[in-house]
Amino acid sequence: MTVSVQYPDSPSFSVTAVYAANNVDERRELWKNLVDTQALLSLNLSSWIIGGDFNEITHCAEHSETTFNQITPHMIELSACFEDLEVRDLRYHGPRFTWTNKQPDDPVAKNLDRILVNEHWLQAFPLCQAYFSAPIISDHSPGLVKLDCGKQVAGSKPFKFFNYLVRHPDFRSTIEAGWEISPEDSWTLSSLSKKQKLLKKFLKSLNKDNFSDIQKRVRETALLLQDLQVNSLTNPSESSFQAKRTCRDKLSFLKTIEEFFFHQKSIIKWLQLGDQNTGFFHKIAKARNFYNAIHSLLDLQGVVVSTPQEVGNLAVCHFKAILRPPLTAVTPHLLPLVQFFTVYHCSEDMRLTLAKISSMRL
């Protein structure tokens, strides 16, 4: 069932409720009907959300049994349907699985219930979230969509290293310059951290000066190439042909950088789609950024924190608990005590000899 929803002072959207049958053939017919419905109502041009019981999973991780490790043709058919519709799972909170067979002797749980949205939905409702709650008397978890979860105050922006920077001719010299002016070498992690923080400034400058707003740079270079091509046809000369060739090489280089940029942001494996498919990668990157955004965390006491500061403090406490070694009591004046009970002491010359770096002697 598909309906159109309109709220005052809010963008309209379409909702499709799904209840898939247990029979494989009937489910296959439903997948086809969804594609036909999208084409008939032009749902790919507006905000669209699909929710309900699909009675099928798309990945082995959506099955509770660890022995279930095979992708079936039915799973592939459902995934292909989602790709045709260009819809993806809405970010949600709640249990890992949404259905259980309620059999104590042979318990099985699966992720059969989904809430899917398209790209226009992400643009219209960038702060929405889904919630799956306790099933109560049913064997399925009910899903609730909250359209506006409140916008968070942005915290510090994390540094991202773009792989395309290594393709710039000045990349190596930039790294060497940043490394040389940083604090002198030492074996401490704090010194390494200082060097890396200083290198970020050099890498950011390299990216800003050469690749910032890469799409605009590609458009401007393409327009410049058109002008140079017309000029070379109007006034053919060695200089006009050389300028056209240089601009063409620059445009090819910038297009490659643009594709690497969207490829890295999308974080997908692309095999046959590799011919300047920036539009496709842009859609995937936008969907992944929306899905991976952290709006809240649940601590061990069951308390939900939602502000950036609380989320950050909880993350720091978590990793300190699992990574930091246990604190031990420090014995005061331990070194003088050890020296008092030690009879033999190395001379200063012997200590320096022991501290020397060994060398290879032929």
Domain boundary among 146, 172, 196: 146
Q: For the residues of 1-29, what is the DSSP string, one character each?
A: -EEEE--TTS--EEEEEEE--SSHHHHHH
- pLDDT band (50, 70, 90) for residue 123: confident
Q: Would 85 be classed as within a structural domain?
A: yes
Q: Would 9 be classed as within a structural domain?
A: yes
Question: Cα–Cα distances in Å, from 327 out to 34, 67, 268, 333, 334?
Answer: 59, 41, 42, 18, 17
Per-residue pLDDT tens over the stretch 136-192: 888 899 999 888 755 555 555 666 778 888 888 888 888 888 887 766 655 566 677
What's the pLDDT score for residue 158? 62
The yes-or-no verdict on residue 362 having pLDDT over 70 is no
Structure tokens at 205: 């400058």
Average model confidence (pLDDT) for the chain? 82
- pLDDT band (50, 70, 90) for residue 75: very high
Same domain flag for 157 and 117:
no
Same domain flag for 118 and 8:
yes
- pLDDT over 90, % of the chain: 25
| Residue of 314 and 359 predicted with greater confidence | 314
In the chain, the DSSP E strands lie at 2-5, 13-19, 48-53, 88-89, 92-93, 99-100, 109-110, 113-117, 129-132, 143-146, 297-298, 304-305
What's the pLDDT score for residue 279? 63
Same domain flag for 45 and 176:
no
Same domain flag for 57 and 135:
yes
Domain that holds residue 203: 153-212
Is the CB of residue 120 less than 8 Å from the CB of residue 160? no
Q: Would 270 be classed as within a structural domain?
A: no
Is the CB of residue 49 less than 8 Å from the CB of residue 115? yes
How many angstroms separate the CA atoms of 124 and 176, rounded?
45
Is the CB of residue 286 less than 8 Å from the CB of residue 122? yes
Q: Would 177 be classed as within a structural domain?
A: yes
Question: Cα–Cα distances in Å, from 118 out to 17, 84, 354?
Answer: 15, 11, 67
Q: Would 260 be classed as within a structural domain?
A: no
What's the pLDDT score for residue 272? 46
Same domain flag for 116 and 189:
no
What's the pLDDT score for residue 235? 86
Q: What's the whole-model pTM score?
A: 0.53
Per-residue pLDDT tens over the stretch 248-303: 999 999 998 888 888 777 655 444 445 555 666 666 666 667 766 777 788 888 78
- Domains in the chain: how many in total? 2
Domain boundary among 212, 231, 250: 212
What's the pLDDT score for residue 337? 75
